[in-house]
């Protein structure tokens, strides 16, 4: 078994038994990246020098007989939307080319304090706007299970890197499904925590009321370990919630007898790929065999989710992205007549098509005469969606749905049809609008051997309950153990 194919918890055991060093592990990861990343295109930037320095510090700590945490010495990939001190951070956008933050995002600082080893910055859809990682300003990332297909988005680089064993785990962000959807496409585990559970300080904003940082990992145990590492109150983030963080590893119990699981009728609709439907039905049977009680529920406002999301997120993007003007940092056009011309040309040349589309949409829905009709109305319906979930959780403990309506589609297949692309997130968007947590775990494969994801949704700050249900499913199936063949 190659070191790069192991999990965080397996490698932690090897490190503390001194059967392997962090330096050896880091060498194995960079060797793996050199072997496969020219096919995948997951990384925008490698931080090799820093990684070896971090690994040597952990090796010294171990050799000195000092204790280490679960993440010490473990190579982690970082989505290029999180600020890293002294390391270029671009959001996969040309408008931020050359931007080097002078501080770490809080989640980066937390992982640094845990002794994690940072491998590099991972590709994404520009400013996290997309479902396929085809909107990156620099390169297209490919799915390790089929190089002709998308890895999902916007955290496509993170999911592909974990799926291809180019890091042991990764950080992503989720605004409308951007952790869970690529996790499903690449056959890995991805969690979107409760809004306010993980600090957004140092996360470059797309839609501030929706964005949340979360982990992508090889299994549910690793997801719990990563959640322990990044969760907690941060006074630097005004949306951070000051409540205690449990030890998520304590929820990893292989027993869900009697737990009530809701199946929302609105999620099993026309347009779902038959292979996805079949895999989810089989997953429901597995839960029933494990002693769970499955009940049918209704989330009646689900049909409005995509429309609401694309009003709210574009409005917030329009506001957040107004700061990129070529004056203080990042890209600036080379030739211009005056200040206004510089603004216009910088933004025209620096932003990609999808970002421009969303800025225009957002500016429209916030404009005089349209604010009441669109943004205000969307905010009101968002409240109704949250109430749907509140009602559902009075009767059930978790809700299960497909993560995506189809397995990963072909690169280029939906580029010319934005609406079809937006519908890729139809099952994940309601969770962000309600601010609740959800996880995607592997639950099967299509006829073309493409991974299928199962989404488990919980109530506010009940990540532990989600992890328990996910762990129980994982312990009784082997989908998470299957790996793509990148040698062909």
Within a 13 Å sphere around the CA of 344, how many CA atoms are in the beta-carbon half? 6
- pLDDT, tens only, 13-35: 999 999 999 999 999 999 999 99
Above 90 in pLDDT, residue 108?
yes
Q: For residue 148, indicate whether it is catalytic.
A: no
Q: Determine which one of 178, 199, 318, 440 is catalytic.
A: 178
Q: What are phi and psi of 442, to 5 degrees?
A: -65, 135
Q: For residue 79, indicate whether it is catalytic.
A: yes
Q: Determine which one of 22, 79, 109, 192 is catalytic.
A: 79
Above 80 in pLDDT, residue 487?
no
Neighbours of 217 (CB within 10 A): 25
**pLDDT confidence of residue 223:** 98
Q: Give mean pLDDT, residues 27-48.
A: 98
Above 70 in pLDDT, residue 444?
yes
* pTM attached to this predicted model: 0.97
Q: Which CATH class is domain 3-261+394-481?
A: alpha beta
Q: Determine which one of 131, 132, 136, 154 is catalytic.
A: 154
CB-based burial of residue 147 (10 Å sphere; 0-12 exposed, 13-18 middle, 19+ buried)? middle
Q: Give mean pLDDT, residues 360-387.
A: 94
Alpha helices in 267-370 (DSSP H): 274-289, 305-320, 339-350, 353-366
**pLDDT confidence of residue 9:** 98
Q: Give mean pLDDT, residues 194-202.
A: 98
pLDDT band at 420 (very low <50, low <70, confident <90, very high): confident
pLDDT band at 270 (very low <50, low <70, confident <90, very high): confident
Above 90 in pLDDT, residue 393?
yes
**pLDDT confidence of residue 387:** 98
| DSSP states along 26-95 | HHHHHHHHHHHHHHH--EEEE-HHHHHHHHHHHHHHHHTT----TTTT-EEEEETTB-BTTB---TT-GG
- pLDDT, tens only, 116-169: 999 999 999 999 999 999 999 999 999 999 999 999 999 999 999 999 999 999
Q: Are 122 and 151 in contact (CB under 8 A)?
A: no
Neighbours of 297 (CB within 10 A): 18
Q: Are 245 and 215 in contact (CB under 8 A)?
A: no
**pLDDT confidence of residue 369:** 87
**Domain locations in the chain as residue ranges:** 3-261+394-481
CA 130/CA 310 separation, integer angstroms: 12
Above 90 in pLDDT, residue 353?
yes
Q: For residue 192, indicate whether it is catalytic.
A: no
**pLDDT confidence of residue 423:** 80
Q: Give mean pLDDT, residues 329-346.
A: 95
**pLDDT confidence of residue 488:** 59
CA 156/CA 81 separation, integer angstroms: 12
Q: Are 152 and 141 in contact (CB under 8 A)?
A: no
């Amino acid at each position: 078994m190659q070191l790069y194919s192991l999990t965080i918890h397996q490698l932690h055991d090897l490190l503390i038994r001194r059967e392997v060093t962090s330096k050896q592990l880091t060498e194995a990861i960079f060797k793996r990246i050199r072997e496969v990343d020219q096919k995948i295109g997951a990384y925008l930037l490698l931080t090799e020098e820093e990684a070896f320095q971090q690994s040597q510090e952990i090796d010294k700590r171990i050799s000195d007989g000092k204790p280490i945490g679960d993440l010490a010495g473990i190579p982690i990939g970082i989505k290029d939307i999180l600020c890293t001190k002294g390391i270029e951070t671009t959001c996969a956008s040309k408008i931020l080319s050359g931007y080097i933050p002078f501080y770490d995002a809080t989640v980066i600082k937390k992982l640094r304090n845990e002794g994690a080893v940072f491998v590099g910055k991972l590709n994404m859809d520009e400013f996290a706007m997309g479902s396929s990682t085809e909107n990156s300003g620099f390169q297209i990332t490919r799915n390790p299970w089929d190089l002709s297909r998308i890895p999902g988005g916007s955290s496509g680089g993170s999911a592909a890197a974990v799926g291809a064993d180019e890091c042991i785990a990764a950080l992503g962000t989720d605004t409308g499904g951007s952790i869970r959807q690529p996790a499903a496409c690449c056959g890995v585990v991805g969690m979107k925590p409760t809004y306010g559970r993980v600090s957004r300080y140092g996360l470059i904003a797309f839609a501030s009321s929706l964005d949340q940082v979360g982990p992508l990992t090889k299994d549910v145990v690793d997801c719990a370990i990563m959640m322990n590492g990044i969760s907690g109150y941060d006074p630097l983030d005004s949306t951070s919630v000051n409540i205690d963080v449990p030890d998520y590893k304590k929820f990893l119990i292989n027993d869900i007898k009697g737990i009530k699981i809701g199946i929302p009728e609105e999620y099993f609709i026309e347009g779902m790929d038959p292979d996805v439907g079949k895999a989810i039905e089989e997953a429901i049977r597995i839960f029933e065999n494990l002693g769970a009680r499955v009940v049918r529920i209704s989330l009646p406002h689900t049909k409005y989710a995509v429309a609401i999301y694309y009003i709210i997120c574009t409005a917030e993007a329009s506001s957040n992205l107004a700061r990129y003007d070529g004056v203080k940092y990042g890209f600036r056009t080379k030739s211009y007549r005056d200040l206004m011309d510089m603004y216009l040309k910088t933004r025209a040349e620096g932003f990609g098509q999808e970002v421009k589309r969303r800025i225009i949409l957002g500016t429209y829905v916030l404009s005089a005469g349209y604010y009441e009709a669109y943004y205000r109305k969307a905010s009101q319906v968002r409240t109704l969606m949250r109430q749907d979930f509140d009602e559902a959780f009075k009767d059930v403990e978790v809700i299960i749905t497909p993560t995506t309506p189809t397995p990963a589609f072909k690169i280029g297949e939906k580029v010319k049809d934005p609406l079809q692309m937006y519908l890729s997130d139809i099952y994940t968007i309601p969770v962000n609008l309600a601010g609740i947590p959800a996880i995607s775990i592997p639950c099967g494969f299509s006829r073309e051997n493409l991974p299928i994801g199962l989404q488990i949704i919980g109530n506010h700050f009940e990540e532990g309950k989600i992890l328990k249900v996910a762990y129980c499913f994982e312990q009784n199936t082997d989908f998470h153990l299957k790996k793509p063949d990148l040698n062909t």
